[in-house]
């Protein structure tokens, strides 16, 4: 006779035997990934500092004020740091665009100034590629959008002012007023005041980029450290399962005890990772806005909130290990699933970068739901919906593993 409790105790003993090695490997893996994270942060920072976007402006620039306006924009401090704006012909722009020398160009349509004068704004055309996705693409869109608005608005105001002065018989003061207005614009630029506001786009769940990277990499870590347990989880032979079955402990009891012990192991490794994070954050000087705003108790609370995620990953990995009968296949399967699922679920790049159908699939995938739950936890939002999805997936993976275990008991 073998009871569920006895089997659970034995499984916990197995976990205990394997624990030191697994913890050591997990710490090594965590430290490596933290270095990777640090490197990614540094690269992002350096890109932000160094990257200047090349933008072309083409079209009818013959109007004096338009010419002045564009020159003002070109020389604005804020824009000079981000973009190099060059006037050129449309043919030149097309050729440079094709060669990748410029990222986009702004087309000022013929009769743009005349249209402003009669109160009908012709649209400025912004030309870029569909592939300009990602943060770089979003920044270009924002920048060019801001330039378009500035050009249109300043032109509008100058010509509106001129119309007003002519209509009200102040023609002799027109030159002076125009000069004053241009000077006012230039003064604003020279004073380096924020002439335009670059809208910071949230990645998802109102989380910062570093917060996103932190949760994404942490989830990837949780997925990867399960590989350390391969020798514990892969069964090359089924006779014990059969005997347990004959002694009253069927697939249900076996799987629930094994997954409980495995999830316990994963929770212990989560604790190791938490300690690594605290140490590494101090030593490496990470800045994670959402994390930095928490006190120690809240940080610990956030890590405890991750337990459902750890149980989900444990259930998923236990099911995957159930499908294989040798260690090498087990490692490969876990690695491929971890990397591919974390990619399509938005752990590496935010989901908003993917096509819509991938966003839907990724968002409702086990790892997508887990990531969203973690991000909501980090930003202090309510993640009840995601928690429900996680619980459903835990039950699903448990049921699948029990079904598979039953097959193994019967078929050998």
Partner 1 sequence: MSQLRIKGIKKFYKKREVLQGIDLQVSSGKCIGILGANGSGKSTLLAILAGVLKADEGEFLWQDKDMLKDSPLAEKIIGYVPQGTPLLEELSAWDNLLLWYDKNRLKKELEDGVLAMLGINEFLKVPVCKMSGGMKKRLAIGCSVAGNPSVLLMDEPSAALDLQCKERIVTYIKDFKAHGGIVLLATHDAQEIEICDEWYILKEGVLHPYEFDGNIHYLVGKL
What residues make contact with partner 1 under the rule CB under 8 A?
1-2, 6-7, 9-10, 13-14, 17-18, 232, 237-240, 242-243, 245-248, 409-410
The gap between the terminal CA atoms of the chain, to the nearest Å, is 21
For residues 14 and 74, which CB has a smaller minimum distance to partner 1 in the complex?
Answer: 14
The DSSP result for 94-127, as a single string, is HHHHHHTS-SEEEEE-TTHHHHHHTT-PPPPEEE
DSSP-derived secondary structure letter, 200: P
Q: What is the 3-state secondary structure (H, E, C) of 236-258?
A: CCCHHHHHHHHCCCCHHHHHHHH
Which token pair is 301? 């609370």
Which token pair is 100? 């990748």
For the bound state, the minimum distance from the C-beta of residue 202 to partner 1, rounded and expressed in Å, comes to: 47
CA-wise closest residue to 233 among 34, 64, 15, 37: 15
Give the Cα separation of 334 and 321 in Å (integer).
8
| Tokens 């005890």 -> residue | 257
Give all strands (DSSP E) within 220-348, no chain letters: none
Sign (positive or negative) of CA dihedral 144, 150, 153, 159: negative
For the bound state, the minimum distance from the C-beta of residue 9 to partner 1, rounded and expressed in Å, comes to: 8
For the bound state, the minimum distance from the C-beta of residue 20 to partner 1, rounded and expressed in Å, comes to: 12
For the bound state, the minimum distance from the C-beta of residue 139 to partner 1, rounded and expressed in Å, comes to: 53
Number of helices (H), then strands (E), belonging to the chain: the values are 18, 4
| Tokens 């990470």 -> residue | 286
Burial 48-62 (b: 16+ CB within 10 A, else e): eeeeebbbbbbbebe
For residues 24 and 388, which CB has a smaller minimum distance to partner 1 in the complex?
Answer: 24
Q: Is 55 helix (H, G, I), strand (E, B) or coil?
A: strand
Within 10 A of 98 (CB to CB), how many other CB atoms are there?
Answer: 9
For residues 22 and 76, which CB has a smaller minimum distance to partner 1 in the complex?
Answer: 22
For the bound state, the minimum distance from the C-beta of residue 281 to partner 1, rounded and expressed in Å, comes to: 35
For residues 22 and 195, which CB has a smaller minimum distance to partner 1 in the complex?
Answer: 22
For the bound state, the minimum distance from the C-beta of residue 292 to partner 1, rounded and expressed in Å, comes to: 42
For residues 318 and 394, which CB has a smaller minimum distance to partner 1 in the complex?
Answer: 318
For residues 7 and 264, which CB has a smaller minimum distance to partner 1 in the complex?
Answer: 7
For the bound state, the minimum distance from the C-beta of residue 265 to partner 1, rounded and expressed in Å, comes to: 13
For the bound state, the minimum distance from the C-beta of residue 8 to partner 1, rounded and expressed in Å, comes to: 11
Q: Are strands 104-108 and 53-59 parallel, antiparallel or unpaired?
A: parallel
Which token pair is 51? 């990257």
For residues 72 and 318, which CB has a smaller minimum distance to partner 1 in the complex?
Answer: 318
For the bound state, the minimum distance from the C-beta of residue 412 to partner 1, rounded and expressed in Å, comes to: 8
For residues 40 and 410, which CB has a smaller minimum distance to partner 1 in the complex?
Answer: 410
For residues 107 and 230, which CB has a smaller minimum distance to partner 1 in the complex?
Answer: 230
Instruction: Give the Cα-Cα-Cα angle 86, 101, 144 (nearest 5 degrees).
Output: 50
CA-wise closest residue to 63 among 74, 71, 75: 71
For residues 10 and 31, which CB has a smaller minimum distance to partner 1 in the complex?
Answer: 10
For the bound state, the minimum distance from the C-beta of residue 293 to partner 1, rounded and expressed in Å, comes to: 44
**φ/ψ bin of 89: left (φ > 0), alpha (ψ from -120 to 50), beta (otherwise):** beta
């Amino acid at each position: 006779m073998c009871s569920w409790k006895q089997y659970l105790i034995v499984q916990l003993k197995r976990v205990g035997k394997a624990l030191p090695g697994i913890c050591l490997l997990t710490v090594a893996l965590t430290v490596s990934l933290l270095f990777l994270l640090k490197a990614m942060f540094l690269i992002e920072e350096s890109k932000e500092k160094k990257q200047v976007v090349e933008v072309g402006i083409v079209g009818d620039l013959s109007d004096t004020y338009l010419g002045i306006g564009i020159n003002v924009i070109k020389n604005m401090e804020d824009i000079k740091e981000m973009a190099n704006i060059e006037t050129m012909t449309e043919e030149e722009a097309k050729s440079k665009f094709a060669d990748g020398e410029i990222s986009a160009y702004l087309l000022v349509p013929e009769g743009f100034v005349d249209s402003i004068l009669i109160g009908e704004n012709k649209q400025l055309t912004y030309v870029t590629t569909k592939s300009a996705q990602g943060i770089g693409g979003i920044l270009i869109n924002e920048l060019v959008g801001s330039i378009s608005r500035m050009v249109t608005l300043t032109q509008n105001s100058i010509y509106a002012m001129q119309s007003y002065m002519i209509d009200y018989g102040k023609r002799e003061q027109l030159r002076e007023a125009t000069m004053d207005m241009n000077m006012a614009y230039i003064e604003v630029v020279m004073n380096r005041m924020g002439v335009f506001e670059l809208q910071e786009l949230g990645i998802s769940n109102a989380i910062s980029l570093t917060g996103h990277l932190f949760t994404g990499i942490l989830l990837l870590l949780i997925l990867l450290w399960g590989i350390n347990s391969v020798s514990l989880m892969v069964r090359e032979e089924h006779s014990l399962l059969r005997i347990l079955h004959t002694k009253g402990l069927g697939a249900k009891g076996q799987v629930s005890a094994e997954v409980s012990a495995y999830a316990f192991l994963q929770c212990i490794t989560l604790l190791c990772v938490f300690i690594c994070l605290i140490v590494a954050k101090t030593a490496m000087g990470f800045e994670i806005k959402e994390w930095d705003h928490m006190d120690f108790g809240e940080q610990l609370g956030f890590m405890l909130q991750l337990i459902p995620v750890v149980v989900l990953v444990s259930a998923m990995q236990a099911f995957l290990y159930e499908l294989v009968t040798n260690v090498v296949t087990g490692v490969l399967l876990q690695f491929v699933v971890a990397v591919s699922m974390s990619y399509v679920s938005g752990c590496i790049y935010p989901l908003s970068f993917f096509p819509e159908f991938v966003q839907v699939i990724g968002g409702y995938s086990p790892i997508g739901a887990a990531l969203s739950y973690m991000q909501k936890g980090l930003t202090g939002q309510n993640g009840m919906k995601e928690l429900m999805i996680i619980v459903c997936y835990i039950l699903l993976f448990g049921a699948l593993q029990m079904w598979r275990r039953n097959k193994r008991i019967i078929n050998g």
